[in-house]
Amino acid sequence: MGAREGSDEAYVVGLCDLILGESALTQHKFAWLLGDPGTSGRRVRLPVDAYWPGHGLVVEYRELQHDQPVPHFDKPDLLTVSGVHRGEQRALYDARRDVEIPAHGLRLVVVRPADLDADSRGRLRRSEKADLAALKKLLSHDTGNGRGRGNSGARISDEDRVVDAFRDWLLAEGWTPVDPTDRWTDLEAVRDEERLICEAKGRTSDPGIDADIAYGQLLRRMTSQDPRTRYALVVPSSSVRAAERVPVHVRQLLRIDVYEVTDNGQVRRLPSAG
């Protein structure tokens, strides 16, 4: 079954077809991408919006309901097979796609209305020329959107290493990575009622400047006053001293935690008191 005819998803996939010179397999299902088991124990295959086998590329078009609560879509009073309402299940399945697709050697690019010419409700205005230019940048192997490194053939940066190690640690600690509220956030995750917004840095020739920049980036993302939202600065061992230059009491007031990723991929939360 193809993308809904006339939908924004179908429009985006059609533009990607033009850019890539290949027709997508829409609503494609991989044998290894599975939902949670139902009452019968059976696990259904989760579809992806579009898959281009010749490019080893998957594109997901995620409308507003993927990033913010929408009661009409979420149906908060109705639990799914995952034991949560549809909005939470959508976040779980999006996170599963984000992990499993690159893990199976495919490149994943996530496109959102904000990446294109859209109105305040997230509906695309369908400015084809502008949208084609934006999609070309998102699909480029060199200028991906930061959420689809996958199998681009580019050398994995140390920041990528730090992000990947921290994501694995979060999953092991019961967190679920979700699509960031701010498109420039490196990683965002939820656990029960908690939310963690993360900024990561890799090895650098000037860790002091990079740490200062990272703190500034976190400050700009402090749009929520919910005390259950915390912020994480994730750095390699070589940058720990620079990250600790901000006093502990200031970090406590701002709900910022600092995490170290060692050279062998271990994650350690730095003391936040004493």
Tell me the C-alpha distance between 166 and 162, whole Å.
6
CB 77 within 8 A of CB 85: yes
Both 173 and 54 in a single domain? no
Please report the pLDDT score of residue 4 as a whole number.
Answer: 66
Instruction: State how many domains the chain has.
Output: 2
* Res 23 pLDDT > 60: yes
* One-letter amino acid for residue 187 of the chain: L
Residue 26's DSSP bridge partners are 50
Both 22 and 122 in a single domain? yes
Of 109, 139, 169, the one marking the end of a domain is 139
Higher pLDDT among residues 72 and 209, named by residue: 209
Please report the pLDDT score of residue 194 as a whole number.
Answer: 93
pTM higher than 0.85, yes or no? no
Of 89, 105, 139, the one marking the end of a domain is 139
Residue 3 counted as domain residue: no
Higher pLDDT among residues 105 and 155, named by residue: 105
The predicted-structure confidence for 157-196, as pLDDT tens digits, reads as follows: 788 889 889 988 999 899 988 888 887 888 999 999 999 9
The predicted-structure confidence for 240-254, as pLDDT tens digits, reads as follows: 999 999 999 999 999
* Residue 79 structural domain: 8-139
Both 195 and 84 in a single domain? no
What is the average per-residue pLDDT within 10-32? 94
Please report the pLDDT score of residue 254 as a whole number.
Answer: 95
Both 37 and 115 in a single domain? yes
Largest CA distance in the chain: 60
Please report the pLDDT score of residue 46 as a whole number.
Answer: 93
Encoding tokens for residue 223? 């749009």
CB 201 within 8 A of CB 159: yes
| Domain CATH code at residue 227 | 3.40.1350
Sign of CA dihedral 149, 155, 158, 159: negative
Of 139, 169, 199, the one marking the end of a domain is 139
The predicted-structure confidence for 48-98, as pLDDT tens digits, reads as follows: 999 999 888 999 999 876 444 445 444 555 555 555 556 677 888 888 898
Both 221 and 255 in a single domain? yes
Identify the residue whose tokens are 């993302």: 221
146: confidence class by pLDDT, cuts 50, 70, 90: very low
